Structure 1
Amino acid sequence: MNTVPYSDLVSYYVERPDRRAVDLREAGVPECVVLGQALYRHAYPPLQEHCHFGVVELAYVESGLQPYNLRDLDFTLFGGEGTIIPPDTRHGSSGQPSYPCKKAWIQLLLPEDRRFVSWLGLSSDEAQPVLEMLRCPANRYSKWPSDFPQRINRLFAVADRPPSPIRTAMLRTGLQHILFELLDRNVPETAPAYQLRVRKVIMWLEIHANDSPPVERLAREAGLSLSSFKRIFHSVTGMTPHAYILRKKIDRAMNLLLEGGKSVTDVAQECGFGSSQYFATAFKRMTGVSPNDVLRKRGITVPADTDGQ
């Protein structure tokens, strides 16, 4: 298992065009060792098991999904869900890849001495319930406030400002607001059995979306009526089953186009589209660019009569 000391957490997250991590200690907030944000447009290798000594991690998935394993317990975060990973806790993705997703995370250094005077600008009495939540959250995962992405974006925007006492105060206050929102929601929840069945179907779709399984089959797999399945599916993913399957197929198509070596027609067939014309239309509607645009950006010559528009 990889153990990452809090002093090295920012360097642990290798900077890439699709990922950013900043150390807010340099901005006068000694408790926040990492503020991170990523937009993964294709799958990455599995998250290796590791832990952060003395550091709690707030991990949030805005869209897509991310498998996790905490203390040998497996679960998956879907869009709008987050998890609190307590200090010194082994976590990884159980060999599953990091799927395409948009996510954010905050890593906070907790006080070693329980008799601390203040933490994150809070007195010991004010901070105590927050720290108890961070050390022992009521739920493995849960729906987080819908404005969480905006709060993260705001923190990054403030962090990019020139150094000043006001910037430090704004960062500290922004983090406090996030923690108090989570504290307000830190009550035990039990996911109904039917919701867990739907989540298993969603994981199955990660592999089989290209087969375009009918929604009726998915409902049968979940042991639910068609109307109940659609309703619960939407509550978990924020999308209809049809839209979710199409999104997965388009994501895979984008990866194949970026990898190269396949024509638009080949990609359309491999991703389960009935025709290259329909594929090109759906692809552009969802991504804003045509399949041929993707190929051209990679320097691939596109035939004049291609259906990739």
Structure 2
Amino acid sequence: MTAATGFSRSLRRLSRWGTGYGLFTIGVVLVGVMVLLAAAAPLISRYDPAAQGVGPALAGPSAEHWLGTDRFGRDLAARVLHGGRITLLATAAALALVVSVGTMLGALAASLGYLVDRAARHVFDLLVAFPVMVVALALVGLWGPSLVTAIAGVLIVLWAPFARLSRSLVRAALAEPSAVTARALGAGRWRLLRYEVWPRLRGPVLVLAAVEAAQLIGVVAGLSFLGLGAQPPSAEWGAMLQEGRAALWSAPHLVLVPGAAVLVTVLGLTCVGEGLRDVLDRAGQTVAE
């Protein structure tokens, strides 16, 4: 191998790294760290996140309390770590529901005939047009502030983007020559969906799931910050931000720590989504070439 060939290959590797793989890896690392910290919360911190008076009120970071304490003397590290469990588990459960329901409804709409597909398309477009935050605020106004209500408000419309995406991809996949041939040979609807549609559907759905997960965390934390989501003394990141803003200047760590947790998680999920999109686009271009 000549020096020129080796240099060319190195440039291609760097180009590949810069067009998705690197971004995806950074996102996976960031999200993975946050998940591991939340999962290991009882092992990392020995304090109960709701226990008051375990340290002096509004104390800064120290050897005893790594991230300081809040105005009730609660250990901030324990609250952030355990709060990650609440936020991440709620997000994961809500996301699994909207992905499965939305993808299934979109696929069924695209494969059940013209009239069903046309009606479903209008419903999906209508729901996607509704701002998630506005719908969540409306539901909170009806049922009262709580984390469950905030997530329920988000779920009302968040499944629609997945339904619209899967409907579009299923229609395109069923029009492919391989799917047309399989149908002519007697393949049933479920066989077509499994072998012809799903391989083309899973990548874009994963990309959208990562992006919507970042939005979901931001919306839930934002509603809690406004006092409309998780309520004190819940150790949820948005609720912690709301509690800490009164002491922003005297104890900035009360805002900086949960704010950094939200920022890192949202940034990681966004990197996963954008990086995965670049990787899939590059793979598609390679296949086309």
The structure whose RCO (Cα within 8 Å, separation 6+) is larger is: 2
Q: Which band: TM-score by shorter chain? A: under 0.3
Larger radius of gyration: 2
Question: Higher strand proportion, which one?
Answer: 1
TM-score (norm 1): 0.23
TM-score (norm 2): 0.24
